[in-house]
Amino acid sequence: MNRHPLRPVTEADIRTYEEDGVVCLRGMFDREWTDRMREASIRFMESGIGRKRIVQKPGETARFYSNVFMCGLDPNFMAFRNESPAAEIAATLMRVDRVRFWYDQMFIKEPGTSAPTQWHQDLPFWPFRGSHLISIWVAFTPVTKDSSGVEYIKGSHKWPKFYRPVTPDEDPNFANPDLEPCPNFSERYGDPSLKFLSWELEPGDVVCHHPMAVHGAGGNKSATQGRIGLSVRFLGDDVQWDPRPYTVKIPVPPKVPAGAYPGDDAVFPVIWERPRAAAE
Ligand SMILES: O=C(O)CCC(=O)C(=O)O
């Protein structure tokens, strides 16, 4: 299983991430990782444990399943967090020398589920402020537009918008009434002011997005191909802890005051640091 990205993250990749709020990096994780994690994801879903959210549309047996804080629940996800290239990719794209782990989230769309991923931004339901935050969405199966490939609106991470959060199962605990609902951008595909980005993915490809980037996905129209991905979220240098109402509650809050850098190693461990250059 590869420890470092299978190819370097380039300056052009970093600029794309900064400009567009999202970048697709091809072939970063090897087959050993993707086979292991695909099997671990399915096994975990069938186990029924965790803080799962399951959407099953009336009349359908196929599920849209997601679960969070995976690495505290399953050693495969812990290995992925600690030993895969995900954290190094995150640090490189954010141009930081150290990243802390926030959480990981597994997404499975079984063949035939019509459940969408509603258009949303991530930061409105995260208890942080700042710009050094990133999600690394790693494909463990092939992904096409029809099998629910995630779509992003180019440059939307720079919009002065903070939309009301919506989870797959529309959990009211996140539905902050003070924020405007996120429009259904699928109704605006012809709008020349919007550029939609999405990629057909192979296992081991990764799409990295800023948590202010507006994104969403359709159902999985494939009759045979499940769509499985893991979004691993990391924090960089300029992040401040901001436990507002309607944001994710973590079992053990960090021992830092609101407004401070979340430097509590027990809650947000450092996963990757840039190796220091050898002394001359
Ligand atoms: O995989 C999906 O359907 C949603 C992904 C997502 O919203 C995320 O990674 O933040």
Angle CA(57)–CA(143)–CA(134) in degrees, nearest 5? 95
- The predicted structure's pLDDT at residue 7: 96
Report which secondary-structure segment, H or E, holds 17: helix 11-20
- The predicted structure's pLDDT at residue 170: 87
Nearest CA to ligand 1 atom 9: 231
- Kindly report the average pLDDT of the chain as a whole number: 96
Give residue-wise pLDDT tens across range 105-135.
Answer: 999 999 999 999 999 999 999 999 999 999 9
User: Which ligand 1 atom sits closest to the C-alpha of 229?
Assistant: 1
Instruction: Give the mutation target among 215, 220, 248 for probing the ligand 1 site: most ligand atoms within 8 A of CB.
Output: 215
Give CA–CA dist 9/24, Å, rounded.
Answer: 11
Question: Which H, E and C letters describe 31-84, residue by residue?
Answer: HHHHHHHHHHHHHHHHHCCCCCEEECCCCCCCCEEEEECHHHCCHHHHHHHHHC
Listed in sequence order, the residues at least 6 apart from 215 whose beta carbon sits closer than 8 Å to its beta carbon are: 22, 117, 119, 120, 121, 150, 151, 152, 153, 209
Whether residue 67 lies inside any domain: the answer is yes
Whether residue 259 lies inside any domain: the answer is no
Give the Cβ contact number of residue 181 at 10 Å: 14
Give residue-wise pLDDT tens across range 83-96.
Answer: 999 999 999 999 99
**Residue 50 — pLDDT band, cuts 50, 70, 90?**
confident
Nearest CA to ligand 1 atom 4: 117
User: Which ligand 1 atom sits closest to the C-alpha of 211?
Assistant: 10
* Secondary structure (3-state) at 230: strand
Q: What is the pTM of this model?
A: 0.96
Are 204 and 187 spatial neighbours (Cβ–Cβ below 8 Å)?
no
> Total domain count for the chain?
1
Whether residue 15 lies inside any domain: the answer is yes
Give CA–CA dist 62/219, Å, rounded.
Answer: 10
Whether residue 274 lies inside any domain: the answer is no
Give residue-wise pLDDT tens across range 259-268.
Answer: 999 999 999 9
Nearest CA to ligand 1 atom 3: 117
User: Which ligand 1 atom sits closest to the C-alpha of 135?
Assistant: 9
- The predicted structure's pLDDT at residue 255: 97
- The predicted structure's pLDDT at residue 276: 83
- The predicted structure's pLDDT at residue 279: 60
Segment 51-77 mean pLDDT: 95
Output the domain CATH number for residue 15: 2.60.120.620
- Domain containing residue 19: 11-249
Give CA–CA dist 108/184, Å, rounded.
Answer: 22
Whether residue 138 lies inside any domain: the answer is yes
- The predicted structure's pLDDT at residue 280: 52
Whether residue 267 lies inside any domain: the answer is no
* Secondary structure (3-state) at 94: helix
Bridge partner list, 216: 151
Listed in sequence order, the residues at least 6 apart from 236 whose beta carbon sits closer than 8 Å to its beta carbon are: 90, 91, 94, 96, 98, 99, 130, 132, 133, 134
**Residue 277 — pLDDT band, cuts 50, 70, 90?**
confident
Whether residue 260 lies inside any domain: the answer is no
Which residues approach ligand 1 with their CB closer than 6 A?
A: 107, 117, 122, 135, 137, 150, 215, 217, 229, 231
- The predicted structure's pLDDT at residue 278: 67
User: Which ligand 1 atom sits closest to the C-alpha of 148?
Assistant: 3
Whether residue 263 lies inside any domain: the answer is no
**Residue 168 — pLDDT band, cuts 50, 70, 90?**
confident
Segment 241-246 mean pLDDT: 96
